[in-house]
């Protein structure tokens, strides 16, 4: 049976990681064993790169930042995601290559054409079957982050217009790819978001014969 690759995207403090955990629990209740992972990270090597990337004490240039994201991605895709999909599993990934287009592209100003080539190199062209976008105004997301003590990382600390460009980019990507993307209003309650996310996921599961 074919696997199903689902990615979770959104700005800071959108609540997507909580939602990912809730949808994973629903899959388990159905007797499925999803692979739950995240970017950057997910393997020992990629988690090491994550520590470098999110450390507020470090200041990589935009290109270095992008290449480190891609190195972590290549590792995750080759060693965890592809084998899980080949084994017919559902994969839930907290962020994927669209985050590079949004953060390093729209946010940092790197050329989207270059980033598309790097994404292709890292993923071998592996695209999600479904991408859930947890859309939230940056001021709402960042305020949530700040109220959760100690959770801000290096990228959370970028200025407001950076986060506005990131949000715009995700919405543009979603508008350009409606067959893959489902946009959810992340100002909704966690229970409502779970209901909407599950509806989208269930539809794809049914399409994949589950
Ligand atoms: P994390 O604390 O996991 O944030 P979030 O809960 O918002 O996902 O940190 C991941 C950070 O890495 C986040 O600020 C977005 C950033 N990022 C990029 O800049 N480019 C990428 O390609 C990826 C995958 C993440």
**pLDDT at position 79 over 90:** yes
**Cα 110 to averaged position of ligand 1 atoms, centre (Å):** 16
Ligand 1 pocket residue status of 7, Cβ below 6 Å = no
SS (H, E, C) the chain: CCCEEEEEEECCCCCHHHHHHHHHHHHHHCCCCCEEEECCCCCHHHHHHHHHHHCCCCCCCHHHHHHHHHHHHHHHHHHHHHHHHHCCCEEEEECCHHHHHHHHHHHCCCCHHHHHHHHHHHHCCCCCCEEEEEECCHHHHHHHHHHCCCCCCCCCCCCHHHHHHHHHHHHHHHHHCCCCEEEEECCCCHHHHHHHHHHHHHHHHHHCCC
Q: What is the pTM of this model?
A: 0.96
**Cα 12 to averaged position of ligand 1 atoms, centre (Å):** 8
What is the per-residue pLDDT across 104-158, written as a single tens digit (0 to 9) for each? 999 999 999 999 999 999 999 999 999 999 999 999 998 888 777 666 788 888 9
């Amino acid at each position: 049976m074919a696997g199903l690759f689902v990615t979770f995207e959104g700005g800071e403090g959108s609540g997507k990681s909580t939602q990912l955990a809730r949808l994973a629990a629903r899959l388990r209740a159905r007797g499925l064993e999803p692979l739950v992972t995240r970017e950057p990270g997910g393997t020992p090597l990629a988690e090491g790169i994550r520590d470098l990337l999110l450390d507020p004490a470090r200041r990589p240039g935009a290109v270095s930042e992008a290449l480190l994201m891609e190195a972590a991605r290549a590792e995750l895709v080759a060693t965890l995601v592809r084998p899980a999909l080949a084994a017919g599993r559902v994969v839930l990934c907290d962020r994927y290559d669209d985050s590079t287009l949004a953060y390093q592209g729209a946010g940092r100003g790197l050329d989207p054409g270059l980033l598309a080539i790097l994404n292709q190199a890292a993923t071998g062209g592996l695209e999600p079957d479904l991408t859930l976008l947890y859309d939230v105004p940056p001021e709402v997301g960042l305020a949530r982050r700040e109220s959760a003590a100690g959770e801000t990382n290096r990228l959370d600390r970028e200025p407001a217009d950076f986060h506005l460009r990131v949000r715009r980019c995700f919405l543009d990507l979603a508008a350009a790819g409606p067959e893959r993307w489902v946009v959810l209003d992340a100002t909704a309650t966690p229970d409502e978001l779970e209901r909407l996310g599950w509806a989208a996921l269930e539809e794809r599961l049914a399409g994949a014969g589950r």
